[in-house]
């Protein structure tokens, strides 16, 4: 036996008095994790020297940790051999819940960044909240989303270490709580660097009440927000619009203040209470505006604990912080009402006023008169994005087009004032999880041809390009794709009791459910194909499986209506014997990181169809690309950079561009399109003509009205579904026809993989480290 295998056996014996063949999943999970943690403990505990970067984020969507940690420690093969010898399924840990302390792209980006930094030896520490319940679990009844609390700690938390001795007190107006840190090791590939993710848990100053440890109590606690535990009880399941709740502001302040206090404590221990050189030791990246209250909080701490004068403290704050913008949608730019802010954070508010006064002076000096565009405090609101731009030295967007939109359309007044602060950092994803781990077959295919250097130097992927010309390689690639479809089929049968036709083309759209991401457009286009097949308008259709996965925020009724609609389309298609040999539609339940790891490697076509100008970057587009899917997409977010690198001829770009939409936006008349084009009318009418039913909820009528009449504050068809409908249908049929030539299609896929080099988060995090944090 290998030493690590012996260590696992020992843990099982000492902790559970059992042995591998007899242990249950929970025991195995905890024993393997504990043994693995032991192997990197000393490396982890070595003090960090020099400047440290800190990633403040309300979300970390880590997924399942055990496989990636074992991979990075080089212990995965040994562990699997042990399981095999004990007669245990290699899939045993699939039962373990994901760490889902995030909603979607923003939280997953944070997780990829941590992996990339540790792998490259960059000292980057994550700071966030240890939510008792992460993103809800989703299932469907009659095609409608049902939510269930995510009790992720049911399996234990072997990758966290509670640091009781480092807890700090956080004070709100009329309430004080403990913030207790739970540290997780972030293990770089190769195990040489182990960074830390510190997640804060809120606890009462009085002894902890263990009775609260059940779901019902916690939900009550959320209602009674004055219970300390309520502060870290639940993740807000809303990744774009502001919940507008006191508790949300409390959460933000809670982890911001706790993290800053812990940094100041560490600084003080080393350098004393002269904080003038704080920014030489720490760079802090604000992942969106959620941690922006850190700005006035650090000012407060420097001026009270450090007795600094305002100007001096401001300089430290500005040098310390940098801000990443993730969305330009007006409704998602965080603001807090003044009375709310003042009542929750009475001690912090005066520092917002100091910032506002300083800004006012600057605007006078620059002779700017329309100050209402800039004011941090305006119309009874505190504007967090403005604060994040004003009091930091860097504001970055997350893809080229997104950064340009920030500069010229969303926040041009700020760009005019401080052009030097604006910069782009196109997102990336870690190829360790999103290729090496989730697609071992393709990883081996790549390594056989270009060596294993790509695992830590993704630019080497370009060396794969010549193999796109090699017939044997294309054939091998297709065999791998087939294998990944078979594996997905097994998984989906277990999870969703659905049988996939693995001979089919797999066309996949997985991401949070949002109108701007246009899952409804995808569904309309599927209906158009369905009707086209029934009418004989479409012939020679290559059999296709259309797969969706998405969670809708529980309060986002229209998004839930879209889920129900797609499930109804799936029923219509799947039970129609005239078409179900050439079409399948499935909406998988509980889409999460682990499901993504099964779905993405099996895809032939990656659906990235957001309205141009709305998706800041996207990252699933990159995951699909490196797994050899072609992009069916609009000119939006990182899709643009993806097809520029991989060749437009190897992808399918369609639809209106930002400039086109800019031109038509005041005259756009979706109802005219609906009236002129029978194919549009036919699919849109399925919402109201009885073809499909919403079970009497009225959701479908509301969707219909939102497209043709406008609903709530939006214009009709605010996301231009009808505008892009025909070009989208055309592009899909084109791709479908191309797919018939499997060999030629495989070439496109290989060229996409070979061009994926820039889309690693290793590259992104290096750019942050060099250009923003100056490490």
Ligand X SMILES: *Cc1c(COP(=O)(O)O)cnc(C)c1O
Binding residue for ligand X, selected from 212, 293, 388, 593, defined by CB under 6 A: 593
Active site residue 326: yes
Helix (H) or strand (E) holding 506: strand 505-510
End-to-end Cα separation, the chain, in angstroms:
42
* Residue (60 or 414) nearer to ligand X, CB: 60
599's tokens:
């779905």
Pairing of strands 335-337, 381-383: antiparallel
Q: Minimum Å distance from CB 327 to ligand X?
A: 11
Which of 64, 300, 326, 421 is flagged as catalytic? 326
Q: What is the C-alpha separation between 380 and 378, in angstroms, rounded?
A: 5
534's tokens:
């029934």
By CB under 6 A, residue 134 contacts ligand X: no
Q: Which of these, 226, 235, 229, 160, lies nearest to 199 by C-alpha position? A: 160
Q: How many residues bind ligand X (CB under 6 A)?
A: 11
- Determine the interface stretch with ligand X among 204-212, 283-291, 614-622, 688-696 (rule: CB under 6 A): 614-622
Binding residue for ligand X, selected from 592, 611, 627, 686, defined by CB under 6 A: 592
- Determine the interface stretch with ligand X among 183-191, 313-321, 590-598, 684-692 (rule: CB under 6 A): 590-598
Which of 623, 732, 747, 748 is flagged as catalytic? 623
Active site residue 511: yes
- Is the CB of residue 607 less than 8 Å from the CB of residue 655? no
Pairing of strands 630-633, 335-337: unpaired
* Residue (98 or 717) nearer to ligand X, CB: 98
* Residue (241 or 460) nearer to ligand X, CB: 241
Q: Which of these, 174, 253, 569, 613, lies nearest to 401 by C-alpha position? A: 613
Helix (H, G, I), strand (E, B) or coil at 184: strand
Instruction: Give me the long-range contacts of 80-89 (CB less than 8 A, separation at least 24).
Output: 81/2, 81/5, 82/1, 82/5, 82/8, 82/9, 82/20, 83/20, 83/28, 85/20, 86/19, 86/20, 86/21, 87/21, 88/20, 88/21, 88/28
Binding residue for ligand X, selected from 20, 105, 181, 655, defined by CB under 6 A: 105
* Residue (392 or 610) nearer to ligand X, CB: 610
- Is the CB of residue 666 less than 8 Å from the CB of residue 673? no
- Determine the interface stretch with ligand X among 5-13, 393-401, 452-460, 617-625 (rule: CB under 6 A): 617-625
Distance of CA 631 to CAs 390, 485, 610, 634, Å?
37, 18, 12, 9
* Residue (249 or 602) nearer to ligand X, CB: 602
- Determine the interface stretch with ligand X among 100-108, 228-236, 251-259, 339-347 (rule: CB under 6 A): 100-108
118's tokens:
């540790």
- Determine the interface stretch with ligand X among 148-156, 613-621, 671-679, 744-752 (rule: CB under 6 A): 613-621
Q: Minimum Å distance from CB 111 to ligand X?
A: 9
Helix (H, G, I), strand (E, B) or coil at 335: strand
Active site residue 619: yes
> Cβ–Cβ contacts within 10 Å for residue 648, how many?
12
Which of 481, 517, 560, 747 is flagged as catalytic? 517
> What's the alpha-carbon Rg for the chain, to the nearest Å?
26
* Residue (200 or 759) nearer to ligand X, CB: 759
Which of 79, 320, 327, 619 is flagged as catalytic? 619
- Determine the interface stretch with ligand X among 218-226, 372-380, 449-457, 616-624 (rule: CB under 6 A): 616-624
Q: What is the C-alpha separation between 647 and 751, in angstroms, rounded?
A: 8
* Residue (187 or 642) nearer to ligand X, CB: 642
Which of 386, 511, 564, 748 is flagged as catalytic? 511
Helix (H, G, I), strand (E, B) or coil at 101: strand
Instruction: List CB contacts of 627: < 8 A, sequence separation 6 or more.
Output: 434, 435, 438, 439, 442, 484, 600, 601, 603, 753
* Residue (532 or 618) nearer to ligand X, CB: 618
- Determine the interface stretch with ligand X among 104-112, 323-331, 359-367, 727-735 (rule: CB under 6 A): 104-112
Q: How far is CA 616 from the centre of its chain?
A: 12
Which of 108, 137, 512, 732 is flagged as catalytic? 512
Binding residue for ligand X, selected from 384, 596, 749, 751, defined by CB under 6 A: 596
- Determine the interface stretch with ligand X among 169-177, 451-459, 488-496, 588-596 (rule: CB under 6 A): 588-596
Q: Minimum Å distance from CB 637 to ligand X?
A: 8
* Residue (326 or 393) nearer to ligand X, CB: 326
Helices (H) and strands (E) in the chain, counts: 30, 23
By CB under 6 A, residue 618 contacts ligand X: yes
Binding letters toward ligand X, positions 281-300, x by CB under 6 A: --------------------
- Is the CB of residue 678 less than 8 Å from the CB of residue 685? no
By CB under 6 A, residue 601 contacts ligand X: no
By CB under 6 A, residue 511 contacts ligand X: yes
By CB under 6 A, residue 588 contacts ligand X: no
The number of C-alpha atoms within 13 Å of 47 and in the hemisphere containing its C-beta is 6
Q: Minimum Å distance from CB 552 to ligand X?
A: 13
Residues 247-276 interacting with ligand X (rule: CB under 6 A): none
711 CB-contact burial (10 Å; exposed 0-12 / middle 13-18 / buried 19+): middle
Q: Minimum Å distance from CB 509 to ligand X?
A: 8
Q: Minimum Å distance from CB 137 to ligand X?
A: 13
* Residue (250 or 623) nearer to ligand X, CB: 623
Q: Which of these, 430, 426, 428, 429, lies nearest to 397 by C-alpha position? A: 426
By CB under 6 A, residue 393 contacts ligand X: no
Binding residue for ligand X, selected from 11, 64, 67, 108, defined by CB under 6 A: 108
Binding residue for ligand X, selected from 27, 145, 545, 619, defined by CB under 6 A: 619
732's tokens:
């899909």
Helix (H, G, I), strand (E, B) or coil at 754: helix
Active site residue 517: yes
| DSSP string for 442-502 | HHHHHHHHH-SGGGT-GGGGGGGGGGGG-HHHHHHHHHHHHHHHHHHHHHHHHHH-----T
Binding residue for ligand X, selected from 20, 104, 237, 655, defined by CB under 6 A: 104
Q: Minimum Å distance from CB 563 to ligand X?
A: 15
Q: Minimum Å distance from CB 103 to ligand X?
A: 8
Q: Minimum Å distance from CB 171 to ligand X?
A: 35
Q: Which of these, 414, 413, 424, 450, lies nearest to 435 by C-alpha position? A: 450
By CB under 6 A, residue 620 contacts ligand X: yes
Q: Minimum Å distance from CB 339 to ligand X?
A: 35
Distance of CA 99 to CAs 42, 87, 120, 390, 774, Å?
25, 27, 23, 34, 31
* Residue (306 or 428) nearer to ligand X, CB: 428
* Residue (40 or 106) nearer to ligand X, CB: 106
By CB under 6 A, residue 135 contacts ligand X: no
Binding site for ligand X (CB under 6 A): 104-105, 108, 511, 592-593, 596, 618-620, 623
Active site residues: 326, 511-512, 517, 619, 623
């Amino acid at each position: 036996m290998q030493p690590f295998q012996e260590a696992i056996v020992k843990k099982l014996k000492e902790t559970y008095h059992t042995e591998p063949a007899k242990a249950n999943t929970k025991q195995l999970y905890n024993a393997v994790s504990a043994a693995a943690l032991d192997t990197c403990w000393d490396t982890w505990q070595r003090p960090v020297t020099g400047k440290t970067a800190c990633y403040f984020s309300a979300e970390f969507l880590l997924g399942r940790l055990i496989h990636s940690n074992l991979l990075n420690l080089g212990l995965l093969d040994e562990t699997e051999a042990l399981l095999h010898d004990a007669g245990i399924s290699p899939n045993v840990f699939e039962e373990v819940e994901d760490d889902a302390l995030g909603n979607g792209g923003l939280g997953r980006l944070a997780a990829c960044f941590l992996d990339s930094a540790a792998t490259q030896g960059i000292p980057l520490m994550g700071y966030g909240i240890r939510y008792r319940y992460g993103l809800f679990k989703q299932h469907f009844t009659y095609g409608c989303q049902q939510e269930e609390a995510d009790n992720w700690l049911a399996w234990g938390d072997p990758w966290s270490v509670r640091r009781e001795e480092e807890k700090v007190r956080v004070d709100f107006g009329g309430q004080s709580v403990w913030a207790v840190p739970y540290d997780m090791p972030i293990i770089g590939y190769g195990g040489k660097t182990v960074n830390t993710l510190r997640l804060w848990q809120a606890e009462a100053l009085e002894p902890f009440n263990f009775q609260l440890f059940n779901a019902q109590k916690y939900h009550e606690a959320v209602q009674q927000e004055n219970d300390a535990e309520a502060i870290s009880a639940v993740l807000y399941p809303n990744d774009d619009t502001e919940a507008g709740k006191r508790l949300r502001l409390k959460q933000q302040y809670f982890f911001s203040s706790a993290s800053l206090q812990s940094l100041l404590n560490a600084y003080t221990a080393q350098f004393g209470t002269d904080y003038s050189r704080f920014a030489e030791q720490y760079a802090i990246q604000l992942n969106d505006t959620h941690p922006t209250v850190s700005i006035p909080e650090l000012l407060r701490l420097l001026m009270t604990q450090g007795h600094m004068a305002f100007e001096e403290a401001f300089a430290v704050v500005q040098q310390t912080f940098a801000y990443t913008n993730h969305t330009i949608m007006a409704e998602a730019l965080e603001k807090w009402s003044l009375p709310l802010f003042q009542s929750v954070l009475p001690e912090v508010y005066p520092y917002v006023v100091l910032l506002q006064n300083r800004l006012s002076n600057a605007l006078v000096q620059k002779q700017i008169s329309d100050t209402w565009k800039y004011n941090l405090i305006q119309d009874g609101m505190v504007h967090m994005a403005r604060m994040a731009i004003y009091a930091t030295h860097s504001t970055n967007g997350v893809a080229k087009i997104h950064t340009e939109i920030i500069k010229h359309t969303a926040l041009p007044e700020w760009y005019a004032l401080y052009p030097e602060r604006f910069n782009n950092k196109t997102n990336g994803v870690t190829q360790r999880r999103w290729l090496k781990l989730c697609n071992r077959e393709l990883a081996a295919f790549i390594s056989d041809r270009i060596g294993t250097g790509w695992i830590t130097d993704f630019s080497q992927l370009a060396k794969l390009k010549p193999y796109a010309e090699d017939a044997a390689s294309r054939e091998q690639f297709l065999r791998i794709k087939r294998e990944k479809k078979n594996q997905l089929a097994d998984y989906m049968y277990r999870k969703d009791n659905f049988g996939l036709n693995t001979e089919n083309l797999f066309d996949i759209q997985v991401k949070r459910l949002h109108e701007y991401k246009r899952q409804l457009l995808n569904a309309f286009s599927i209906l158009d194909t369905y009707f086209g097949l029934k009418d004989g308008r479409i012939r020679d259709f290559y059999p296709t499986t259309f797969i969706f996965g998405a969670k809708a925020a529980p309060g986002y009724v229209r998004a839930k209506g879209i889920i129900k609609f797609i499930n109804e389309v799936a029923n219509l298609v799947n039970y129609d014997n005239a078409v179900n040999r050439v079409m399948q539609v499935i909406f998988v339940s509980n889409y999460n990181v682990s499901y993504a790891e099964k779905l993405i490697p099996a895809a032939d076509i990656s659906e990235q169809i957001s309205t141009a100008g709305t998706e800041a970057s996207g990252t699933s587009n990159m995951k699909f690309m490196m797994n050899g899917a072609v992009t069916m997409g609009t000119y939006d977010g990182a899709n643009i950079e993806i097809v520029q690198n991989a060749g437009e001829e190897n992808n399918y770009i369609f639809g209106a561009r930002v400039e086109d939409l800019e031109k038509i936006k005041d005259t756009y008349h979706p109802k005219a399109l609906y009236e002129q084009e029978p194919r549009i009318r036919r699919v849109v009418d399925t919402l109201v003509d009885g073809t499909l039913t919403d079970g009497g909820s009225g959701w479908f009528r509301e969707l219909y009205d939102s497209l043709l009449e406008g609903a709530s504050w939006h214009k009709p068809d605010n996301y231009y579904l009808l505008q892009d409908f025909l070009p989208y249908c055309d592009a899909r049929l084109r791709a479908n026809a191309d797919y018939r030539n499997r060999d030629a299609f495989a070439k496109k896929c290989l060229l996409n993989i070979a061009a994926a080099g820039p889309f690693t988060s290793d590259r992104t995090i290096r750019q942050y480290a060099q250009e923003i944090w100056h490490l």
